[in-house]
Amino acid sequence: MLADRLHGAALHLMRGIRQADRRLGVGPARLSALSVLLSGPKTLSELAEAEQVSAATISRIGAGLIRTGLARRVPNPSDGRSARLEMTAAGRRLISRGRRARVARLEAAVRQLTPEDRKALASAIDALERAAWEVLKSRRGG
Partner DNA sequence: GCAAGATAATTAGCATTGCTAAGTATATGC
Partner DNA sequence: GCATATACTTAGCAATGCTAATTATCTTGC
CB of 53 to DNA, least distance (A): 4
Least Å from the CB of residue 49 to a copy of itself: 12
| Per-residue interface string for the shown chain with DNA, residues 28-67, x marking contact by CB under 7 A | xxxx-----------xxx-----xxxxxxx-xxxxxx---
When the beta carbons of 50 and 131 are compared against DNA, the nearer one is: 50
With CB under 5 to 8 Å by kind, the binding choice for 57 among a copy of itself, DNA, none is DNA
Cα-to-chain-centroid distance, residue 103: 14
CB of 23 to a copy of itself, least distance (A): 10
Q: Please identify, among the stretches 76-84, 90-98, 99-107, 132-140, the one whose residues bind DNA according to the rule CB under 7 A.
A: 76-84
Torsion of CA 140, 55, 30, 94, to 10 degrees: 110
- The Cβ-side half-sphere exposure at 80, using a 13 Å CA radius, reads 0
Q: How far apart are CA 87 and CA 109, in angstroms?
A: 30
Question: Who's near 55: CB < 8 A, 6+ residues apart?
Answer: 44, 45, 48
Establish if 69 lies at the interface with DNA (CB under 7 A). Answer: no
**How many CA atoms, within 13 angstroms, populate the side-chain half-sphere of residue 27?**
8
Q: Which residues bind DNA (CB under 7 A)?
A: 26-31, 43-45, 51-57, 59-64, 78-84
